Protein backbone atom coordinates (compact mmCIF):
# COMPACT_ATOMS: atom_id res chain seq x y z
CA UNK A 1 0.00 0.00 0.00
CA UNK A 2 1.92 3.04 -1.30
CA UNK A 3 -0.53 5.71 -0.09
CA UNK A 4 -0.01 8.97 -1.98
CA UNK A 5 2.85 9.19 -4.46
CA UNK A 6 4.11 12.17 -6.46
CA UNK A 7 6.14 12.36 -9.64
CA UNK A 8 8.70 13.85 -10.10
CA UNK A 9 10.48 14.56 -6.80
CA UNK A 10 12.53 17.44 -8.18
CA UNK A 11 12.37 19.58 -11.32
CA UNK A 12 14.07 22.68 -12.66
CA UNK A 13 12.30 24.68 -15.36
CA UNK A 14 13.07 27.78 -17.32
CA UNK A 15 10.58 30.62 -17.39
CA UNK A 16 7.87 29.90 -19.95
CA UNK A 17 8.29 26.14 -19.99
CA UNK A 18 5.41 23.85 -19.17
CA UNK A 19 5.19 20.72 -17.06
CA UNK A 20 2.77 18.38 -15.37
CA UNK A 21 3.01 17.03 -11.84
CA UNK A 22 1.40 13.67 -11.23
CA UNK A 23 -0.26 12.57 -8.01
CA UNK A 24 -1.52 9.03 -7.50
CA UNK A 25 -3.31 7.45 -4.55
CA UNK A 26 -4.22 3.83 -3.95
CA UNK A 27 -6.63 4.34 -1.04
CA UNK A 28 -9.75 4.77 -3.20
CA UNK A 29 -10.18 8.29 -1.84
CA UNK A 30 -12.76 10.54 -3.41
CA UNK A 31 -11.14 13.89 -2.64
CA UNK A 32 -7.73 15.03 -3.85
CA UNK A 33 -5.88 18.30 -3.36
CA UNK A 34 -2.86 20.23 -4.56
CA UNK A 35 -1.04 22.58 -2.17
CA UNK A 36 2.03 24.71 -2.44
CA UNK A 37 4.38 25.34 0.47
CA UNK A 38 6.41 28.51 0.67
CA UNK A 39 8.63 29.71 3.54
CA UNK A 40 6.62 31.54 6.20
CA UNK A 41 3.35 30.93 4.35
CA UNK A 42 2.32 27.47 5.48
CA UNK A 43 0.49 25.42 2.87
CA UNK A 44 -1.95 27.04 0.48
CA UNK A 45 -4.55 25.20 -1.55
CA UNK A 46 -4.19 25.52 -5.33
CA UNK A 47 -6.97 23.28 -6.69
CA UNK A 48 -8.95 20.35 -5.43
CA UNK A 49 -11.27 17.66 -6.67
CA UNK A 50 -14.24 16.01 -4.95
CA UNK A 51 -14.51 13.20 -7.44
CA UNK A 52 -13.50 11.82 -10.82
CA UNK A 53 -14.12 14.37 -13.56
CA UNK A 54 -14.56 17.31 -11.18
CA UNK A 55 -12.16 20.07 -10.16
CA UNK A 56 -12.45 23.34 -8.25
CA UNK A 57 -10.28 26.34 -7.47
CA UNK A 58 -8.59 26.80 -4.16
CA UNK A 59 -6.91 29.80 -2.60
CA UNK A 60 -4.14 30.35 -5.18
CA UNK A 61 -5.26 28.84 -8.54
CA UNK A 62 -3.80 31.37 -10.98
CA UNK A 63 -1.20 29.95 -13.37
CA UNK A 64 -2.20 26.33 -12.72
CA UNK A 65 -4.61 23.86 -14.26
CA UNK A 66 -5.68 20.43 -13.03
CA UNK A 67 -7.40 17.33 -14.30
CA UNK A 68 -8.95 14.30 -12.60
CA UNK A 69 -9.65 11.85 -15.40
CA UNK A 70 -9.25 8.83 -13.14
CA UNK A 71 -10.23 8.57 -9.50
CA UNK A 72 -6.72 7.61 -8.41
CA UNK A 73 -4.86 10.36 -10.28
CA UNK A 74 -4.79 14.14 -9.95
CA UNK A 75 -2.60 16.11 -12.35
CA UNK A 76 -1.31 19.64 -11.80
CA UNK A 77 -0.19 21.55 -14.88
CA UNK A 78 1.86 24.67 -15.32
CA UNK A 79 1.34 25.98 -18.85
CA UNK A 80 3.95 28.76 -18.72
CA UNK A 81 6.12 28.56 -15.62
CA UNK A 82 7.13 31.73 -13.77
CA UNK A 83 9.76 32.23 -11.04
CA UNK A 84 6.91 32.95 -8.59
CA UNK A 85 5.90 29.31 -8.98
CA UNK A 86 9.15 28.12 -7.41
CA UNK A 87 7.86 26.14 -4.46
CA UNK A 88 7.34 22.72 -2.94
CA UNK A 89 4.11 21.13 -4.16
CA UNK A 90 2.19 18.63 -2.10
CA UNK A 91 -0.68 16.43 -3.12
CA UNK A 92 -3.15 15.02 -0.61
CA UNK A 93 -6.20 12.80 -0.62
CA UNK A 94 -9.07 12.07 1.72
CA UNK A 95 -12.41 10.36 1.90
CA UNK A 96 -14.61 12.45 4.18
CA UNK A 97 -17.83 10.86 2.97
CA UNK A 98 -16.72 7.29 3.65
CA UNK A 99 -19.00 7.05 6.65
CA UNK A 100 -16.12 6.27 8.99
CA UNK A 101 -15.93 9.88 10.11
CA UNK A 102 -12.29 10.03 9.06
CA UNK A 103 -11.70 13.34 7.29
CA UNK A 104 -7.93 13.07 7.55
CA UNK A 105 -5.94 14.20 4.56
CA UNK A 106 -2.99 12.00 3.61
CA UNK A 107 -0.06 13.73 1.97
CA UNK A 108 2.48 12.73 -0.63
CA UNK A 109 6.23 13.36 -0.21
CA UNK A 110 6.24 16.54 -2.28
CA UNK A 111 7.77 17.86 -5.51
CA UNK A 112 10.41 20.57 -5.30
CA UNK A 113 10.09 22.84 -8.33
CA UNK A 114 12.52 25.60 -9.24
CA UNK A 115 11.72 28.03 -12.05
CA UNK A 116 14.70 30.01 -13.31
CA UNK B 1 -13.18 33.35 6.30
CA UNK B 2 -11.46 30.64 8.28
CA UNK B 3 -7.95 31.16 9.59
CA UNK B 4 -5.39 29.52 11.84
CA UNK B 5 -2.79 31.44 13.81
CA UNK B 6 0.31 29.81 15.24
CA UNK B 7 2.86 31.31 17.56
CA UNK B 8 5.97 32.73 15.94
CA UNK B 9 9.02 30.53 15.68
CA UNK B 10 11.47 28.99 15.51
CA UNK B 11 11.56 27.22 18.85
CA UNK B 12 14.72 25.66 20.25
CA UNK B 13 14.58 23.40 23.29
CA UNK B 14 16.88 21.07 25.15
CA UNK B 15 16.07 17.38 25.22
CA UNK B 16 13.51 16.45 27.92
CA UNK B 17 12.14 20.01 28.09
CA UNK B 18 8.40 20.71 28.13
CA UNK B 19 6.89 21.84 24.85
CA UNK B 20 3.90 24.08 24.18
CA UNK B 21 3.04 25.35 20.70
CA UNK B 22 0.09 27.70 20.62
CA UNK B 23 -2.61 27.55 17.98
CA UNK B 24 -5.80 29.58 17.77
CA UNK B 25 -8.40 29.56 15.05
CA UNK B 26 -11.20 31.63 13.57
CA UNK B 27 -14.05 29.66 12.04
CA UNK B 28 -17.80 29.30 12.01
CA UNK B 29 -19.50 26.23 13.37
CA UNK B 30 -17.53 23.23 14.55
CA UNK B 31 -14.50 22.41 12.45
CA UNK B 32 -12.18 19.49 13.03
CA UNK B 33 -8.73 20.49 14.27
CA UNK B 34 -5.43 18.91 13.35
CA UNK B 35 -1.75 18.97 14.05
CA UNK B 36 0.46 17.85 11.19
CA UNK B 37 4.23 17.29 11.44
CA UNK B 38 6.80 17.57 8.68
CA UNK B 39 10.16 15.93 9.30
CA UNK B 40 13.15 17.21 7.30
CA UNK B 41 12.86 16.33 3.63
CA UNK B 42 9.50 14.62 4.00
CA UNK B 43 5.82 15.33 3.40
CA UNK B 44 3.27 16.13 6.08
CA UNK B 45 2.03 13.44 8.46
CA UNK B 46 -0.99 13.64 10.68
CA UNK B 47 0.15 13.86 14.29
CA UNK B 48 -3.21 14.12 16.04
CA UNK B 49 -6.71 15.43 15.60
CA UNK B 50 -9.87 16.35 17.47
CA UNK B 51 -13.32 16.57 15.95
CA UNK B 52 -15.43 18.22 18.63
CA UNK B 53 -15.17 20.55 21.60
CA UNK B 54 -13.29 19.20 24.65
CA UNK B 55 -11.90 16.27 22.65
CA UNK B 56 -8.24 15.53 23.33
CA UNK B 57 -6.09 14.21 20.53
CA UNK B 58 -2.91 12.36 21.45
CA UNK B 59 -0.09 10.54 19.69
CA UNK B 60 3.62 9.86 20.31
CA UNK B 61 3.45 11.69 23.65
CA UNK B 62 1.92 14.81 22.12
CA UNK B 63 -1.48 16.09 23.22
CA UNK B 64 -3.86 18.85 22.22
CA UNK B 65 -7.34 19.69 23.51
CA UNK B 66 -10.08 21.28 21.39
CA UNK B 67 -11.12 24.39 23.36
CA UNK B 68 -14.19 25.95 21.82
CA UNK B 69 -14.44 28.72 24.44
CA UNK B 70 -10.94 30.00 23.67
CA UNK B 71 -10.86 28.79 20.02
CA UNK B 72 -7.55 27.10 20.70
CA UNK B 73 -5.81 23.80 20.03
CA UNK B 74 -2.42 24.10 21.73
CA UNK B 75 0.09 21.28 21.23
CA UNK B 76 1.98 19.98 24.28
CA UNK B 77 4.55 17.34 25.07
CA UNK B 78 6.00 16.71 28.50
CA UNK B 79 9.51 15.69 27.43
CA UNK B 80 10.76 16.35 23.91
CA UNK B 81 13.37 14.27 22.13
CA UNK B 82 15.88 15.16 19.43
CA UNK B 83 13.77 13.08 17.03
CA UNK B 84 10.87 15.55 17.53
CA UNK B 85 12.77 18.20 15.59
CA UNK B 86 10.44 19.08 12.73
CA UNK B 87 7.98 21.66 11.44
CA UNK B 88 4.55 21.57 13.10
CA UNK B 89 1.39 22.81 11.41
CA UNK B 90 -1.96 23.47 13.01
CA UNK B 91 -4.94 23.17 10.67
CA UNK B 92 -8.72 23.03 10.53
CA UNK B 93 -11.28 21.62 8.16
CA UNK B 94 -14.91 20.65 7.91
CA UNK B 95 -16.23 17.28 6.86
CA UNK B 96 -18.01 16.74 3.59
CA UNK B 97 -17.91 19.11 0.62
CA UNK B 98 -16.04 21.78 2.57
CA UNK B 99 -13.22 19.51 3.69
CA UNK B 100 -10.40 21.79 2.55
CA UNK B 101 -7.66 22.24 5.13
CA UNK B 102 -6.75 25.71 6.32
CA UNK B 103 -3.21 25.72 7.67
CA UNK B 104 -1.29 27.92 10.02
CA UNK B 105 2.14 29.09 8.89
CA UNK B 106 3.95 26.32 10.72
CA UNK B 107 6.62 26.49 13.37
CA UNK B 108 10.06 24.91 13.33
CA UNK B 109 11.07 23.01 16.45
CA UNK B 110 14.73 22.16 17.06
CA UNK B 111 15.64 19.95 20.02
CA UNK B 112 19.24 19.98 21.24
CA UNK B 113 20.80 16.88 22.82
Among A42, A50, A110, select the one facing B103 at the smallest CB separation.
A42
**Banded model confidence at residue B17, pLDDT cuts 50, 70, 90:** very high
Contact between chains at B32 and A110 (C-beta distance less than 8 A)? no
Residues of A in contact with B104 (CB under 8 A): 42
Distance of CA B98 to the CA centre of its chain: 20
- At residue B80, the pLDDT reads 97
For residue range B29-48, what is the model confidence (pLDDT) as tens digits?
889 999 999 998 888 999 99
DSSP-derived secondary structure letter, A18? -
Nearest to A29 by CA among A10, A2, A7, A57: A2
Q: Which residues contact A34 (CB under 8 A, 6 or more apart)?
A: A21, A23, A45, A46, A47, A48, A58, A64, A66, A74, A76, A89, A90, A91
Chain B residues within 8 Å of chain A (Cβ atoms): 4, 32, 34, 36, 42-46, 49, 51, 89, 93-97, 99-101, 103-106
- At residue A98, the pLDDT reads 55
How many Cβ atoms sit within 10 Å of the Cβ of residue B76?
15
Amino acid sequence: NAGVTQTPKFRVLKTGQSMTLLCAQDMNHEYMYWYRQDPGMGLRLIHYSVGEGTTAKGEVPDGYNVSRLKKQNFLLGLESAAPSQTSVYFCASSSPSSGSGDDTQYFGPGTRLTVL
Amino acid sequence: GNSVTQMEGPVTLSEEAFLTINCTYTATGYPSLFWYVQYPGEGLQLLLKATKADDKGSNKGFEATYRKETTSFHLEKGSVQVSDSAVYFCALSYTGANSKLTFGKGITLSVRP
